[in-house]
């Protein structure tokens, strides 16, 4: 599924916010349709949080447009925020308050009278509403932030590292919640470092590096882009070092006789090359999404963009 | 005004307000109790021994009435410094701390608008100052009535305290404008209070000797003339009004910058 630019619930076009020394975002484009989850991937400092801040109207873009449901995120902040749920990357709930008073304050500021969804979410995540936030573990504080973001049933959700600190069971529940919101028609922008989470929760993924969105594709396309990984077992350590020598100074991954090769696209070339060596065995596996994205993290240009 | 936020913030600001109120009430009651001719003589002896020190703290003249005595020993220094400490603490608590900890992100994520948000926070600060002024006035009047019935004209003290409140609005406006407008957290926390402390120091220096008396013209604190306000002098009333109006303008300026600035939280 690819969201059309027109009518997108979240629309970022040519966004530039320069913080100097290469930090910020530069000409970023993103769009998320209603009922769609877009994964937002990139290394630390790539510009994910800056993009979120622009969408929240916390900062004003230097150029470009940032809109939610057709409204400018900085100029029409109250209108936009009435329809938006936000989970910040840095969990900074007011620590001196209990979870209940904090959530009541947030609900009160939204003019929400019905607390049923809040209680339902707190129950689903096993959150003790009476506990003081300052005394909670990181995971429990994250649950408070999740309830705060989702309790108003917003049309748009901006989730910055949402499962940080959650145990695997709670991560599962969170992914179920995202799926539920998507089915309800919410547009979700989900920034995460957990590749499996992106793979499971998202319809599309945008990859940002050094402030530039370098690739946007559907999850199916991302999966089809994955190369295969091969483990080559040479007959002896000497054969292995001969192979390694032929491939430059960088030591190859693998054990004494084996070599790990990731992101192999041309299998015939590999077979032709290995025929020159005494090989004991070759096993293959599909490259994981993590390997694909780490490949991009390290600076390789994408093979294509959509 | 955002009522749920106002209530929450007021609860968190009541403790520092109560502490400062307790301290100034204690001083006020002790000073009113000191209005005793015998003790007054010993204070006069001390003042004669250290005239510059007493003048620096705004206590150059003991005065002949209880009102003059109270104004001399209370309004010149104590009722400037303690409310300034409160204003700095509250401006920090209501704005700077939220930005520093990142909890401002949750407040900004609600559909209330920054102008309403910051007006609500400013309302808490002003409310606390009103509370302090009211409680102080009530205790001063009660102490004067109990210890020296008939010695103090209540309306004069009320007018003086309203004028003093105008000074507090000005000082808190300076702290508030710094807290709202400066992007750097330590600067937002300290610049306002440092500027106010400078005003206080300059005023103290201006009272030390004739050669430094000109310094009184460069500090806004000299716009407050409590006894002049009580006697209805136009210049004193205009000075107090100028303090109140410029304080309110500083609050508006701080709020205006806050609504437009980038908040990278």
Residue-wise pLDDT for A42-64, tens only, equals 888 889 999 999 999 999 999 99
Q: Which chain B residues are Cβ-neighbours of A88 within 8 angstroms?
A: 102, 105-106, 109, 265
Coil, strand or helix at A288? coil
Q: Is A93 on the interface with B (CB under 8 A)?
A: yes
- Look at the alpha carbons of B35, B39, B42, B43 in this order and tell me if their dihedral is positive or negative: negative
Whether B169 maps to a domain, the answer reads yes
Note the pLDDT tens digit of each residue in B188-233. Answer: 999 999 999 999 999 888 877 778 888 888 899 999 999 999 999 9
Partners of residue B5 in chain A, C-beta under 8 Å? 105, 108-109
Q: Is residue B153 part of a domain?
A: yes
How much of chain A, in percent, has pLDDT values that exceed 70?
Answer: 92
| C-alpha distance from residue A295 to each of A304, A306, B84 (Å) | 14, 18, 57
Is the pLDDT confidence value at A304 over 90? no
What percentage of residues in chain B have a pLDDT greater than 90? 75
Distance CA A270, CA A232 (A): 10
More confident position, B113 or A256: B113
Predicted confidence at residue A45, as pLDDT, reads 85
Distance CA A247, CA A240 (A): 11
pLDDT attached to residue A224: 79
DSSP A157: E
Confidence of residue A305 (pLDDT cuts 50, 70, 90): very low
Q: Are B156 and B70 in contact (CB under 8 A)?
A: no
pLDDT score recorded for residue A293: 72
Task: Give chain B's largest Cα–Cα span.
Answer: 63
Q: Residue B234 belongs to what domain range? A: 3-260
Q: How many domains does chain A have?
A: 3
What pLDDT score does B9 carry?
97
Strands A71-72 and A84-87 turn out to be unpaired
Residue in chain B nearest A81 by alpha carbon: B111
Mutation site for A-interface testing, chosen from B103, B117, B121, B259 by largest number of A Cβ within 10 Å: B103
Q: Which chain A residues contact residue B108 at CB under 8 A?
A: 56-58, 77, 81
What pTM was computed for the model? 0.84
Dihedrals phi, psi of A290, to nearest 5 degrees: -60, -45
pLDDT category of residue A5 using cuts at 50, 70 and 90: very low
Cα(B264)–Cα(A90) distance, integer angstroms: 12
Of the candidates B157, B156, B149, B199, the one whose C-alpha atom is nearest the C-alpha of residue B174 is B199
Q: Is residue A297 part of a domain?
A: no
Average pLDDT over residues A96-117: 95
Q: Residue B37 has which token pair?
A: 């001719």
Domain range for A112 is 94-148
Q: Does residue A66 share a domain with residue A10?
A: yes
More confident residue, A165 or A252: A165
pLDDT value at residue A7: 73
* Measured CA distances, B33 to A3, A191, B13, B28 (Å): 77, 66, 30, 8
Mean pLDDT of chain B: 91
Rounded to a whole number of angstroms, the distance between the first and last alpha carbons of chain B is: 23
Per-residue pLDDT averaged across B63-73, rounded? 85
Position A112 pLDDT exceeds 80: yes
Using a CB–CB cut-off of 8 Å, the residues of B that contact A are: 2-5, 8, 12, 101-103, 105-114, 260, 262-265
- What is the structure's pLDDT at A226? 73
Of A265, A263, A261, the residue nearest A252 (C-alpha) = A261
b or e along B70-109 (b: 16 or more beta carbons within 10 Å of the residue's beta carbon)? Answer: bbbbbbbbbbbebbbbbbbbbbbbbbbbbbbbbbbbbbbb
E strand or H helix at B40: helix B37-49
B19 domain residue, yes or no: yes
- Are A121 and A158 members of one domain? no
Residue A49 lies in a domain: yes
User: Do B117 and A105 form a contact (C-beta atoms < 8 A)?
Assistant: no
Average pLDDT (B112-121) is 96
With a cut of 50, say whether residue A303 has pLDDT above it: no
Contact between B109 and A90 using a beta-carbon 8 Å cutoff: no
Same domain, A272 and A237: yes
Whole-number Å distance between alpha carbons of A300 and B2 = 50
The predicted pLDDT at position A3 comes to 42
Claim to verify: residue A249 and residue A184 sit in the same structural domain: no
Cβ distance of B262 and A59 shorter than 8 Å = yes
Q: Between chains, do A93 and B5 touch, taking CB under 8 Å as contact?
A: no
- B169 has a pLDDT exceeding 70: yes
pLDDT of residue A299: 57
Give the Cβ contact number of residue A245 at 10 Å.
9
Task: Tell me whether residues A77 and B114 touch, CB distance under 8 A.
Answer: yes
DSSP B153-204: -HHHHHHHHHHHHHHHHHHHHHHHHHHHH-SSHHHHHHHHHHHHHHHHHHHH
Residues A132 and A47 reside in one and the same domain: no
The number of beta carbons lying within 10 Å of the beta carbon of residue A110 is 19
The answer to the question of residue A296 being in a domain is no
| pLDDT value for A2 | 40
Is there a domain that residue B265 lies in?
A: no
The residue from A169, A185, A219 where one domain ends is A219
CB-CB under 8 Å, B113 with A92: no
Q: pLDDT tens-digit profile of A244-286?
A: 888 875 666 777 888 988 767 788 888 998 999 999 999 987 7
Which of A77, A97, A101 lies closest to B113 in CB terms? A77
Residue A122 has pLDDT above 80, yes or no: yes
Q: Indicate yes or no: CB of B109 within 8 angstroms of CB of A60.
A: no
- Dihedral angle computed from the Cα positions of residues A279, A280, A284 and A290, in that order, rounded to the nearest 10 degrees: -80
- Across A85-110, average pLDDT: 93
Cβ contact, residue pair B108, A90, below 8 Å: no
pLDDT at A245: 86
- Identify the pLDDT of residue A301: 47
Q: In what order do the strands lie in the sheet with A204-209?
A: A84-87, A156-160, A187-191, A37-41, A204-209, A212-218
Regarding whether A245 and A187 lie in a shared domain, the answer is: no
CATH of the domain at A195: 3.40.50.300
Cβ neighbors of A114 (< 8 A, separation 6 or more) are none
- Least confident residue range of A193-197, A278-282, A285-289, A294-298: A294-298
For residue A14, tell me if it sits in a domain.
yes
**Do A13 and A54 fall into the same domain?**
yes
Same domain, yes or no, for A5 and A77? yes
Contacts of A148 in chain B (CB under 8 A): 106
Return the minimum-mean-pLDDT range out of A48-52, A238-242, B120-124.
Answer: A238-242
Phi-psi region of B252 (alpha: psi -120 to 50; beta: other; left: phi over 0): alpha
Q: Which of B110, B117, B183, B262 to mutate to test the interface with A (most CBs of A within 10 A)?
A: B110
User: What is the ipTM score, two decimals?
Assistant: 0.85
Residue B69: HSE in the Cβ half-sphere, 13 Å Cα cutoff: 24
Give residue A4's pLDDT: 43
User: Where is the domain boundary, A219, A236, A255?
Assistant: A219
Inter-chain touch B109–A86, beta carbons under 8 Å: yes
Q: Are A96 and B12 within 8 A, CB to CB?
A: yes
> How many domains would you assign to chain B?
1
The pLDDT value recorded for residue B207 is: 77
Query: Min CA distance, B142 vs chain A (Å)?
Result: 37
State the pLDDT confidence band at B45, using cuts at 50, 70 and 90: confident
Interface with chain A: mutation pick from B5, B111, B258, B259, highest number of A CBs within 10 Å: B111
Q: Which pair of tokens denotes residue A189? A: 């922008």
Mean pLDDT score, B151-165: 95
Contact pairs from chain A to chain B, CB under 8 Å: 79
Q: In a mutagenesis test of the B interface, which of A58, A83, A156 is the best target, namely the one with the most B β-carbons within 10 Å? A: A58
C-alpha distance from B148 to closest chain A C-alpha (Å): 45
For residues A102-116, average pLDDT: 95
Whether residue A78 lies inside any domain: the answer is yes
Query: Are the beta carbons of B59 and B76 closer than 8 angstroms?
Result: yes
Out of B102, B111, B113, the one facing A90 most closely (by C-beta) is: B102
In a domain, A304, yes or no: no
Backbone angles phi, psi at B219, to 5 degrees: -115, 130
Same domain, A38 and A13: yes
pLDDT tier at B252 (50, 70, 90 boundaries)?
Answer: very high
**Out of A56, A90, A108, whose CB is closest to B4?**
A108
CB-nearest to B4 from A56, A82, A105 is: A105
Q: Which residues of B touch A96 (CB under 8 A)?
A: 12
In-domain check, residue A301: no
If one compares A267 and A293, the residue with the highest pLDDT of the two is A267
Same domain, A98 and A203: no
Q: What is the pLDDT of residue B220?
A: 93
Same-domain pairing of A71 and A164 = yes
Task: Evaluate whether residue B78 is within a structural domain.
Answer: yes
- Both tokens of A251, joined, read 């030591």
CB-nearest partner of B264 from A59, A93, A109: A59
Q: Which chain B residues are closer than 8 Å to A99 by Cβ?
A: none
Classify residue A4: in a domain, yes or no: yes
- For the stretch B15-43, pLDDT in tens is 999 999 999 999 999 999 988 766 666 66
For residues A169 and A126, membership in a common domain is answered with no
């Amino acid at each position: 599924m690819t969201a059309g630019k027109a009518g997108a619930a979240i629309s970022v076009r040519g966004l530039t916010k320069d913080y100097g020394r290469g930090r910020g975002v530069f000409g970023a484009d993103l769009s998320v349709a209603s009922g769609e989850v877009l994964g937002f991937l990139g290394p630390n400092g790539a510009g994910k949080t800056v993009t979120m801040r622009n969408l929240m109207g916390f900062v004003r873009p230097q150029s470009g447009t940032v809109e939610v449901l057709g409204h400018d995120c900085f100029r029409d902040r109250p209108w936009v925020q009435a329809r938006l749920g936000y989970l910040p990357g840095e969990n900074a709930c007011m620590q001196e308050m209990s979870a209940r008073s904090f959530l009541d304050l947030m609900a009160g500021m939204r003019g929400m009278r019905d607390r049923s969804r809040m209680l339902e979410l707190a129950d689903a995540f096993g959150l003790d509403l009476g506990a003081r936030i300052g005394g909670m573990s990181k995971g429990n504080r994250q649950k408070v932030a999740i309830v705060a973001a989702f309790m108003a049933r917003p049309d748009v959700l901006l989730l910055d590292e949402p499962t940080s600190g959650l145990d695997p069971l709670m991560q599962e529940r969170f992914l179920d919640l995202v799926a539920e919101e998507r089915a309800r028609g919410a547009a979700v922008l989900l920034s995460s470092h957990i590749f499996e989470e992106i793979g499971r929760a998202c319809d599309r993924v945008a990859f940002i590096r050094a402030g530039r969105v370098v690739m946007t594709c559907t999850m199916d396309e991302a999966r089809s882009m994955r190369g295969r990984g091969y483990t080559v077992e040479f007959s002896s350590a000497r054969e292995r070092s001969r192979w390694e020598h032929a491939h430059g100074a960088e030591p190859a991954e693998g054990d004494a006789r084996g070599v790990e090769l990731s992101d192999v696209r041309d299998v015939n070339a590999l077979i032709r090359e290995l025929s020159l060596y005494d090989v004991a065995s070759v096993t293959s596996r599909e490259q994981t999404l993590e390997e694909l994205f780490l490949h991009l993290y390290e600076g390789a240009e994408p093979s294509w963009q959509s | 005004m955002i009522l749920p936020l106002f209530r929450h913030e007021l609860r968190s600001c009541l403790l520092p307000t109560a502490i400062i109120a307790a301290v100034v009430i204690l001083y006020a009651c002790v000073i009113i109790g000191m209005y005793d001719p015998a003790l007054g003589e010993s204070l006069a002896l001390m003042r004669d021994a250290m005239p510059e020190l007493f003048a620096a703290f705004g206590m150059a003249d003991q005065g002949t009435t209880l009102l003059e005595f109270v104004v001399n020993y209370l309004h010149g220094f104590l009722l400037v410094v303690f409310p300034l400490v409160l204003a700095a603490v509250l401006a920090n608590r209501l704005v700077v701390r939220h930005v520093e900890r990142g909890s401002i992100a949750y407040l900004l994520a609600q559909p209330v608008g920054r102008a309403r948000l910051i007006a609500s926070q400013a309302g808490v600060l002003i409310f606390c100052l009103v509370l302090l002024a009211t409680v102080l006035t009530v205790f001063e009047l009660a102490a004067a009535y109990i210890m020296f019935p008939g010695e103090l004209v209540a309306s004069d003290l009320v007018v003086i305290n309203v004028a003093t409140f105008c000074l507090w609005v000005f000082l808190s406006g300076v702290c508030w404008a710094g807290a709202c407008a400066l992007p750097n957290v330590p600067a937002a926390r300290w610049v306002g209070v440092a500027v106010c402390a400078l005003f206080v120091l300059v005023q103290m220096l201006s009272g030390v000797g004739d050669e430094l008396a000109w310094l009184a013209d460069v500090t806004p604190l000299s716009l407050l003339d409590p006894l002049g306000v009580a006697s209805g002098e136009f210049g004193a009333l205009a000075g107090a009004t100028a303090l109140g109006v410029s304080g309110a303008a500083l609050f508006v300026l701080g709020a205006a910058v806050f609504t437009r600035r980038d908040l990278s939280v």
